[in-house]
Amino acid sequence: MATSRWRVVAVSTAAAVCLGGCGAAAGPGDPSPSATPPTSTTEPSPSSAPSTSPPPGTPSPSATVAGVTLRQLGFTNGPLDEFSLPSDLVVTTAVDQPNVVTIVLARPSPETVEDYLRATLPNQGFAIDARADAGKAMTFEGHGWTGAFTGTGATSAIVLRPA
């Protein structure tokens, strides 16, 4: 199990290094950082929007209502119904393979994503193993998967691997 954690930390570190270029200014022909290409943007449908929300800072078992699951995002691998992300996300890169699920987000901020994960992961059956500074990195495990979150600048990434 210790080897898996180090692997997750290594993947998290690699994602952070890769994300360093994601915050760079857009070049000629590249979409602007605020523009989102239709093929890589995932916006929730109106049917996934919550009708009510809990008081701020109050995690609840229904916290996933405010988010979207991997299945709702169109993934076929990973903890499809057990893992969710904030519903106002913008996906810039997605990898959906049996041995790894990777999601790079341009929105919301890394701090918001991390706050969401800290509030929802325990209610979704995941244990948070380690946490760095707020909005920077965390590792977690559950449902036969290990996960890592990392954030830098305005970009964040989540990597999930089978345990």
pLDDT at 135: 65
Segment 50-67 mean pLDDT: 44
pLDDT at 109: 94
Structure tokens at 94: 């997605």
Alpha helices in 49-143 (DSSP H): 110-120
What share of the chain in percent tops pLDDT 70? 59
Domains, the chain, ranges and CATH? 1-20+77-163 (3.30.310)
Say whether pLDDT at 90 is over 90.
yes
Angle CA 152–11–142, to nearest 5: 100
Say whether pLDDT at 79 is over 80.
yes
Segment 146-160 mean pLDDT: 96
pLDDT at 83: 98
Alpha helices in the chain (DSSP H): 2-19, 110-120
Say whether pLDDT at 22 is over 50.
no
φ/ψ of 112, rounded to 5, equals -65, -45
Q: How far is CA 5 from CA 2, 17, 41, 93, 162, in A?
A: 5, 18, 30, 24, 12
